[in-house]
């Protein structure tokens, strides 16, 4: 009895030490390497990773030159960045329309939400670029930004709405009883609390938007995905390029997640 | 009613009717006045329409028919009138409803700045005076969740007073408090009553009703069963229903 209790205490301490964490991590890495080694073997694929770096960047007499993948990444940044701002603006507006007292505003918001959320982004993109675009004179880039913003904005609006309705009625009533207008009650009482609550799902939505932006390659915008497709057609480095591009998306979205985590901790206020 | 300290009627309600969507009659032919400087306590069983009546007075609930006039302003369809009335009528809620994302000071400042259009400095000066009055000035920089229930409710009272209201409504202001904190909030309310604030209080604190109220209203099923001075009410109620209710709670 005494010895077994002593042994379990030793095990417990061992289990909680950082050594155990390192050990677990090493095992995980070995497993992943083994898995990839096995699948590469089975694939019989001739890996040529050495040809990838020049597609990212190169050094010559002119100094550093960004390769096509990095140029594509910049386009992806630009489209995602603008769409993100627009999508959140559209989402917030739609959410406010949906909780408003006006029947017309609610109806508009509802129709937009259901059509945008219930049809594939690819088709919306084609519709805006090929059907709407020529009529009102939208170029490729604008069409892409508009389609992405409208699509992701629909999801964002439901997130905002969930945040708004999660704020207790008492908060609103306290504001009204002090004589605040509806606008001020939303601006100073409801929205600051609602937005803090929906930061985590909004981050997921932002990450989705970045990944969904890959679809703009279908209307020949040279974003990261389109650059990869072009390079693959030229070089047949299918797996190397797709894995590199995947890692680049992962890198960008991870940075975004970490950034939001950091901000969340800084502005943490109990609700 | 011989109430020498009170003035002209500041709240006039006439034949109020209100039915909730679920068919419950919250107010049935409810009429009455509250005089300037008067402290009215409303008691009655739950579901009697006490809170609904208070909430109708500042337009948080809409009435089906009847008239409400506060300090000469009719509470009607006009949004402007409703906002005017809310400026003059402070309300304290059972659940405090402080704004959790703001400090105590900002809670008290907000309406002064946004509604009364005061500068931040002016507002802060008033707020600190009021927080001193409710004895919580040392917590001005704290957030509501760092305060006890009693402290939060005192801040909520200061917040309502910051609008310099002519009438204060208390909707079961001590019902959500732990017993040891009820006293501190009642003390603030008693002081307010002594200073001549017009108050309408829905409460279960019979001691408070006895001590400071000028008039007690017993309500049931959306209407007034009996009304009178605290003395008359507790010593010698006329209605059988009132006697039964008092025997149950005292």
pLDDT, tens digit, 9 for 90 and up, residues A3-51: 667 778 887 877 777 888 888 889 998 998 898 888 877 777 777 888 8
Say whether both A127 and A208 belong to one domain. Answer: yes
Handedness of CA B100, B101, B104, B110 (dihedral sign): negative
Give yes or no for B73 touching A (CB within 8 A): no
Write the CA distances from A197 to A177, A194, A260, B124, integer angstroms: 24, 5, 13, 29
C-alpha distance from B183 to closest chain A C-alpha (Å) = 23
* Residue B247: CA count within 13 A, CB half-sphere: 8
Q: Is there a single domain that holds both residue A176 and residue A220?
A: yes
A206 and A121 in one domain? yes
CB of B74 closer than 8 Å to CB of B81 = yes
Q: Is residue A121 part of a domain?
A: yes
Q: Do both A134 and A23 map to the same domain?
A: no
Residues A154 and A218 in one domain: yes
Give the residue numbers spanning the domain of A155.
Answer: 72-270
Same domain membership, residue A37 and residue A153: no
Taking only the tens place, the pLDDT of each residue in A124-173 is 999 999 999 888 988 889 999 999 999 999 999 999 999 999 999 999 99
The answer to whether position A138 is within a domain reads yes
Chains A, B: CB contacts within 8 A come to: 66
pTM, whole model, 2 decimals?
A: 0.83
A38 and A79 assigned to the same domain = no
Beta carbons of B97 and A192 less than 8 Å apart: no
| A141 and A27 inside one domain | no
Residue A50 counted as domain residue: no
Q: Tell me, yes or no, whether A115 and A233 share the same domain.
A: yes
**Residue A48 in domain:** no
For residue B215, which phi and psi values (nearest 5 degrees)? -150, 140
Give residue A108's pLDDT: 94
Q: Is the ipTM of this complex over 0.85?
A: yes
Amino acid A219: pLDDT: 86
Q: Tell whether A58 is covered by a domain.
A: no
| Shared domain check, A37 and A76 | no
Residues of B in contact with A170 (CB under 8 A): 93, 95, 97
- pLDDT, tens digit, for every residue of A239-250? 888 888 888 888
DSSP label at residue B238: -
Q: Is B142 on the interface with A (CB under 8 A)?
A: no
Residue A100 lies in a domain: yes
Burial class (CB in 10 A: 0-12, 13-18, 19+), A14: exposed
Tally the domains of chain A.
Answer: 2
Facing residue for A188 by CB, picked from B60, B110, B160: B110
Task: Give the residue from chain B lying closest to A173, CA to CA.
Answer: B60
Same domain as A143, residue A18? no
Tell me which of B78, B104, B110 to substitute to probe the interface with A (most A C-beta atoms closer than 10 Å).
Answer: B110
Does some domain include residue A59?
A: no
CATH number at residue A220: 1.10.3720.10
Identify whether A51 is part of a domain.
no
Same domain, A85 and A214: yes
């Amino acid at each position: 009895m005494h010895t077994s209790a002593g042994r379990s205490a030793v095990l417990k301490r061992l289990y909680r030490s950082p050594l155990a964490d390192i050990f677990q991590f090493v095992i995980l890495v070995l497993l992943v390497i083994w898995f990839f080694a096995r699948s590469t073997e089975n694939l019989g694929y001739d890996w040529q990773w050495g040809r990838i770096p020049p597609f990212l960047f190169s050094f010559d007499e002119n100094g550093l030159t960004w390769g096509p993948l990095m140029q594509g990444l910049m386009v992806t940044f630009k489209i995602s960045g603008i769409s993100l701002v627009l999508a959140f603006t559209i989402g917030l507006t739609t959410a406010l329309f949906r909780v408003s007292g006006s029947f017309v505003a609610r109806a508009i918001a509802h129709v937009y939400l259901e059509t945008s959320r219930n049809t594939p982004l690819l088709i919306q993109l084609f519709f805006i670029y090929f059907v709407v675009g020529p009529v009102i004179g939208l170029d490729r880039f604008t069409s892409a930004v508009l389609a992405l913003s409208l699509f992701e904005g629909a999801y964002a609006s439901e997130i905002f709405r969930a945040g708004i309705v999660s704020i207790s009625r008492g908060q609103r009533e306290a504001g009204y009883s002090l004589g605040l207008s509806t606008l001020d009650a939303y601006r100073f009482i409801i929205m600051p609390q609602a937005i803090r609550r929906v930061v985590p799902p909004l981050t997921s939505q932002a990450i989705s938007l970045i990944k969904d932006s890959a679809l703009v390659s279908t209307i020949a915008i040279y974003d990261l995905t389109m650059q990869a497709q072009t390079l693959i057609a030229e070089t047949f480095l299918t797996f190397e390029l797709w894995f590199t591009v995947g890692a680049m998306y992962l890198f960008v979205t991870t940075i975004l997640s970490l950034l939001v985590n950091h901000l969340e901790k800084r502005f943490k206020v109990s609700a | 009613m011989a109430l020498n300290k009170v003035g002209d009627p500041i709240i006039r309600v006439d034949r109020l009717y209100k039915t909730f969507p679920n068919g419950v009659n919250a107010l049935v032919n409810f009429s009455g006045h509250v005089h300037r400087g008067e402290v009215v306590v409303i008691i009655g069983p739950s579901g009697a329409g006490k809170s609904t009546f208070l909430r109708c007075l500042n337009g948080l609930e809409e009435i089906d028919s009847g008239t409400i006039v506060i300090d000469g302003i009719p509470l009607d369809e006009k949004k402007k009138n409703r906002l005017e009335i809310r400026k003059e009528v402070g309300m304290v809620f059972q659940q405090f409803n402080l704004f959790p994302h703001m400090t105590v000071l900002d809670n008290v400042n907000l309406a002064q700045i946004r509604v009364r259009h005061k500068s931040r400095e002016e507002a802060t000066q008033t707020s600190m005076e009021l927080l001193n009055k409710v004895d919580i000035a040392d917590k001005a920089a704290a957030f509501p969740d760092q305060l006890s229930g009693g402290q939060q409710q005192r801040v909520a009272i200061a917040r309502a007073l910051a609008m310099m209201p002519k009438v204060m409504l208390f909707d079961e202001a001590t019902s959500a408090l732990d017993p040891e904190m009820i006293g501190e909030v009642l003390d603030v309310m008693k002081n307010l009553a002594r200073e001549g604030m017009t108050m309408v209080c829905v409460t279960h604190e019979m001691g408070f009703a006895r001590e400071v109220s000028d008039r007690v209203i017993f309500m049931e099923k959306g209407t007034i069963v009996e009304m009178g001075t605290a003395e008359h009410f507790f010593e010698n109620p006329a209605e059988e229903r009132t006697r039964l209710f008092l025997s149950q709670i005292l």
